[in-house]
């Protein structure tokens, strides 16, 4: 029997803002997390990710390299971000130059088990549970489905 290569899970080389809460176990490394952000258990946040202030990242979320998330965002349970769009018909297999960026604006909520492909999402957007975002979103509102489609504007509060 051959022994496997073991890599530890944990928190390594993270730039934390003030008053950040992290519930372990997590796998968070080489990233930046803004002031007063909450990170739940079983979350992975990879190298180079930037998360803004006052965000809430719920359990089992996966945030891969090349993702930036603005301020006051909510990433629900099991939400996944993808940086490899399979541009060559399958996985990039080490060809990182084929990976793409994802930029999430401020005041964005991503629902449970949503999948976010490499896109840009503007401010003030709600992504429904289970949605698959395949194209950039440039208009504030509520989006749901696979692929995610605009449903309606968000009611303004006075």
> SS3 string of the chain?
CCCCCCCCCCEECCEECCCCEECCCCEEECCEECCCCEECCCCEECCCCEECCCCEECCCCEECCCEEECCCCEECCCCEECCCCCCCCCCCCCCHHHCCCEEECCCEEECCCCEECCCEECCCEEECCCCEECCCECCCEEEECCCCEEEECCCCCC
pLDDT at 94: 84
Give domain status of residue 103, yes or no. Answer: yes
Residue 155: band (very low, low, confident or very high) from pLDDT cuts 50, 70, 90: confident
CA-wise closest residue to 114 among 65, 74, 55: 74
Place of tokens 């896109």: 119
Domain count, the chain: 1
Give domain status of residue 2, yes or no. Answer: no
Give domain status of residue 90, yes or no. Answer: yes
Residue 143: band (very low, low, confident or very high) from pLDDT cuts 50, 70, 90: very high
Nearby residues of 128 by Cβ (< 8 Å), 6 or more positions away: 111, 114, 142, 143, 144, 145, 148, 151
Residue 158: band (very low, low, confident or very high) from pLDDT cuts 50, 70, 90: very low
Measured CA to CA in angstroms, residue 28 lies from 20, 66, 77, 90 at distances of 13, 14, 16, 27
Can you tell me the mean pLDDT for 66-84? Answer: 98
The model's pLDDT over 83-115, given as tens digits with 9 standing for 90+, comes to: 999 999 999 998 999 999 999 999 999 999 999
Can you tell me the mean pLDDT for 135-147? Answer: 98
Give domain status of residue 158, yes or no. Answer: no
Can you tell me the mean pLDDT for 125-133? Answer: 98
Domain that holds residue 38: 11-152
pLDDT at 57: 98
CATH of the domain at 49: 2.160.10.10
């Amino acid at each position: 029997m051959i022994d496997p290569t073991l890599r530890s899970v944990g928190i390594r080389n993270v730039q934390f803002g003030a008053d950040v809460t992290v519930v372990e176990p997590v796998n968070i490394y080489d990233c930046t997390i803004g002031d007063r952000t909450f990170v739940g258990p079983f979350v992975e946040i990879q190298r180079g990710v930037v998360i803004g202030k006052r965000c809430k990242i719920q359990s089992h979320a996966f945030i891969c390299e090349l993702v930036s998330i603005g301020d006051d965002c909510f990433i629900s349970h099991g939400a996944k971000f993808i940086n490899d769009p399979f541009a060559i018909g399958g996985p990039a297999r080490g060809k990182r130059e084929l990976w793409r960026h994802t930029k999430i604006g401020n005041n964005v909520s991503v629902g449970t088990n949503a999948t976010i492909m490499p896109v840009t999402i503007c401010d003030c957007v709600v992504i429904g549970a289970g949605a698959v975002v395949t194209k950039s979103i440039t208009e504030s509102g509520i989006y749901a489905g696979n692929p995610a489609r605009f449903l309606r504007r968000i009611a303004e509060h006075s």
